[in-house]
Amino acid sequence: MGGQVSQLKEKELEEKYGVIASIHFGTKHMGYAYMFTKQEFGSEVYKPQQLEMKKENTCIMLKKYSNGNFKLVSFGNEAMDELINLESQENDDFYFFRLFKTDIVAKDKTLFVKDYKKREVDAHIGFSKVYEFVQSKILEHLKKSVNGAERIQADDILWVIAVPSTWDHQYRDFIRKAAEESYHNMVIVLESEAASMYIRNKPVSLKQEKIEPFKDGQCYMLVDIGAGTSDICTHKFLKVGI
């Protein structure tokens, strides 16, 4: 979207939500960020401790209890460290998922994900636990770093979840159901759409060695080369939208 349509949407969001948080699972890495709808508060991109990159490994560690329930033990880089400790032990209660985004398999309309020992677990369990974890981390960071943010509750946040353009409705519905356990206000967008929205007002158009924002009628190609898949799309910039 762009132009007047975008301005109206932004005004509606500012009035309804105090914070917009975005989550993206990549094949190899994932990241999340948030921004306040009132610009004076700024935005923040999550940065793991002791790392220069603003992203985590896309992996999780779950523990299965005797009653069949699962609990998220560790996430991202911490889960990688936990795996090193587990490899020296024999403990079947822990499930490590290295590339849980791309290791999803469909069986009888149910999606499963395999851990590093090839054991299958309902994918809904893993993804819902991750979304719950990310929500707690963002709320924790908000309340620690921003004055007055201690009043912010989960319902004050609009959650934006990016999914690959190649995922069909079954996978998108699965993501929605997994996220709905933690997020009451949520939108799902395609990764290519999210990237397009990000650059539409950025000074990225090169003309006579001068970089300037896109103008009405200009076209561009967006190439997303990830660790597992590559997406290519083209857009034309219009006053009323893309």
Q: Which residue has the higher pLDDT, 11 or 74?
A: 74
105 in a domain, yes or no? no
91 in a domain, yes or no? no
96 in a domain, yes or no? no
46 pLDDT above the threshold of 70: no
pLDDT tier at 10, thresholds 50, 70, 90: low
List CB contacts of 81: < 8 A, sequence separation 6 or more: 74
The model's pLDDT over 178-230, given as tens digits with 9 standing for 90+, comes to 888 888 788 888 888 887 777 766 656 555 666 667 778 888 888 877 766 77
Alpha helices, DSSP H, located in the chain: 3-16, 77-86, 123-145, 169-180, 191-199
- Domain that includes residue 167, residue range: 3-54+124-196
94 in a domain, yes or no? no
178 in a domain, yes or no? yes
220 in a domain, yes or no? no
28 in a domain, yes or no? yes
64 pLDDT above the threshold of 90: yes
49 in a domain, yes or no? yes
pTM: 0.75
The model's pLDDT over 127-163, given as tens digits with 9 standing for 90+, comes to 999 888 888 888 888 777 777 667 777 788 888 888 8
The total number of structural domains in the chain stands at: 1
Q: Which residue has the higher pLDDT, 85 or 41?
A: 85
- What is the structure's pLDDT at 62? 94
Can you give the CATH number for the domain in which 38 is found?
3.30.420
The model's pLDDT over 104-118, given as tens digits with 9 standing for 90+, comes to 888 888 889 989 889
Best CA proximity match to 190, nearest among 164, 223, 225, 168: 164
Of the chain, the percentage scoring pLDDT greater than 90 comes to 10
